[in-house]
């Protein structure tokens, strides 16, 4: 029997706990990257700032400003993704993460397809996002989904110079 995948908007306390835990796992993954990449995370997402981002997201990343998604594979939480309003008309897809155990099962692709559909449903005109150059699987996925590479769309710390890939997808 094929695994059952659902992409839900976390609402209950256990769903939000799983969503937050997976977001912390994502941060841990980023901190495990080579030092030139983990330095970016240490600068941009200190523990205090990351906790504040996740806490604010519970309010700010709900329709119509954005959405949070939790991937459930056979009932177990295995991935997350978030859409947030960057500025009027522009959505930003953030913190897309799939656990190592679920990688290769199509969860990342399904999550991105759903987040893109969410952006359309919320009325955004464009999606912006970024990833590290070292994240080859993510870059391959975003390129394959039709995102166009572009320059930075917001200010980045000097540590990120030459280490990030920026994307956009027009929705109109």
pLDDT attached to residue 1: 67
Domain that holds residue 93: 5-170
Q: How many domains does the chain have?
A: 1
Whether pLDDT at 61 is above 80: no
Q: How confident is the model at residue 8 (pLDDT cuts 50, 70, 90)?
A: very high
**Residue pLDDT, tens place only, 86-102:** 999 999 999 999 999 99
pLDDT attached to residue 11: 93
CATH number at residue 142: 3.40.630.30
For 111-114, which contacts have Cβ atoms below 8 Å and span 24 or more sequence positions? Answer: 111/7, 111/69, 111/71, 111/79, 111/80, 111/81, 112/81, 112/141, 112/142, 112/145, 113/145, 114/7, 114/69, 114/81
pLDDT attached to residue 64: 81
Q: Are 127 and 171 in contact (CB under 8 A)?
A: yes
**Residue pLDDT, tens place only, 146-160:** 999 999 999 999 999
């Amino acid at each position: 029997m094929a695994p059952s995948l659902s992409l839900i908007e976390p609402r209950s306390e256990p769903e939000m706990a799983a969503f937050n835990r997976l977001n912390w796992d994502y941060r841990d993954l980023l901190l495990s990257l080579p030092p030139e990449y983990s330095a970016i995370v240490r600068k941009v997402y200190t523990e205090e700032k990351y906790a504040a981002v996740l806490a604010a997201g519970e309010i700010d990343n709900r329709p119509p400003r954005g959405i949070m998604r939790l991937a459930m594979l056979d009932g177990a939480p295995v991935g997350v993704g978030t859409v947030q309003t960057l500025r009027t008309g522009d959505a930003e897809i953030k913190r897309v993460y799939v656990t190592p155990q679920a990688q290769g099962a199509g969860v990342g692709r399904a999550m991105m397809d759903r987040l893109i559909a969410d952006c359309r449903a919320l009325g955004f005109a464009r999606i912006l996002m970024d990833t590290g150059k070292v994240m080859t699987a993510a870059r391959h996925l975003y390129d394959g989904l039709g995102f166009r590479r572009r320059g930075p769309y917001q200010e980045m710390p000097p540590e990120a110079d030459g280490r990030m890939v920026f994307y956009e997808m027009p929705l109109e």
